[in-house]
Chain A
């Protein structure tokens, strides 16, 4: 991988993805061997939005590599409340850290921040934009279960505002994957994502219901339909129930269907799915640590190592 920053999944080629996943696999196979591979690493965690899994797995990844993290803390306790710009905030923190991880509520925030820093910067979610490190762990999970070619993947839920969806769709376009997008009309993929998929020559179909396509799927990637996005509660109620799955729903799917979710879930996957052979969402979250270890190592290698 020859990038200074990871801003968007669209910047990742097939070989980039495979290189990260291969390294992540080596790390996962022998976690202890990497315990001190990056002694002295200081990773700056800049989270302008709440996060549990992404923040903690980057924290764990840095520490498992022998490094440490510094954390700007909540927005409320930072200089952001004094009106400091994002550009200034990251320019200051890059002086304290060897690499930065940024989550921000605005689309394009990571791109902007990367224009102002020299240390590697990873986009850990920018509004409804992109979440490329999540995508790498999603792909790692899919590869473990199904491989990454000759696949049929269904992505269901909030496709309009779902940053994990936007990143995953872009990355899957590198592989022989037929992508099926299932959502209410009001939450279809944004024009920009559809444009990129078209330009990439991806095989794409859009649906408003899961049932007609479920039996074709190797992977079903479920995201939360975000109630807060709907202007009217009744509009939300009209569609939300259509996009909930339980063990009975999955009976119409293939026996080897893999069900994933970036988490947190609310009610779109019933608890009875957890006990089926389909559920992979907790393993998916656990995969975040070796994948982010690999990502950090490779970005730092590109950058000539840590100071």
Chain B
């Protein structure tokens, strides 16, 4: 039995997100709006060894599957992640995340003078570009630490 199997037990139903970049698991939970109060069974493994990534994080969330918009933002901060849907202890679907062309309403613009940070009736929108994401309104590029700009509560 491998080291991380010992640490994180199997789940009956839900989602396993594997190959998250080391240190990003808590940001992934933030994207999903999970803080523990929802009652989902939750297992978090951080900085476990990985043949592909060196170090990685793993999340197992019982009785919760992901929406496409959640997967879209997940792809920006954990581009190597795999998402396994588990039903009755079996992995019935296994997907790599794919970078979307655009994400809406999930990131805030770091440019304090961007109109999206004023009290206007719009949600943020970012185009996904080769080296990050770009605000559709002011053009500001977020190149790194995208998770720092998550607009989720």
Contacts and interface: CB of A to CB of B under 8 A. Distances in A.
A and B interact: yes
Contacts of B138: 106-108, 126-127, 129
Interface stretch (B17-25, B33-41, B47-55, B139-147): B139-147
Contact of A87 (B120, B135, B137): B120
Contacts of A107: 111, 113-115, 137-140
Given A107-B113, A109-B115, A128-B113, A115 B122 contact: yes
B113 A105 contact: yes
B2 to A, nearest CB: 42
A108 B135 CA distance: 9
A195 interface: yes
Contacts, number: 64
Given A112-B120, A115-B122, A195-B129, A86 B141 contact: no
Interface string A102-139: 00111111011001000000000011110000000000
Interface in B107-148: 109, 111, 113-116, 118-122, 129, 131, 134-141, 143
Nearest to B111: A107
A106 B122 CA distance: 14
Interface bin, chain A: 20 to 34
Interface SS of B by simple majority = loop
Contacts of A108: 109, 114-116, 135-139
A190 B137 CA distance: 15
Contacts of A8: 139
Given A192-B140, A195-B129, A106 B113 contact: yes
Given A108-B137, A112-B122, A195-B141, A86 B115 contact: yes
Given A106-B113, A108-B114, A192 B141 contact: yes
Contact of A112 (B111, B115, B131): B115
A111, A127, A128: which has the most chain B beta carbons within 10 Å?
A111
Contact of A129 (B120, B121, B139): B139
Interface string B80-121: 000000000000000000000000000001010111101111
Interface in A64-122: 83, 85-87, 104-109, 111-112, 115
Nearest to B131: A195
A129 B111 CA distance: 11
Contacts of B136: 108, 111
Contacts of B122: 87, 112, 115
A191 interface: yes
20 contacts: A8-B139, A85-B119, A86-B118, A87-B120, A104-B115, A106-B114, A107-B115, A107-B138, A107-B139, A108-B109, A108-B135, A109-B115, A111-B136, A112-B120, A127-B113, A129-B138, A191-B143, A192-B134, A195-B131, A195-B141
Closest 7 CB pairs of A and B: A108-B137, A107-B138, A108-B138, A108-B115, A106-B115, A192-B139, A109-B115
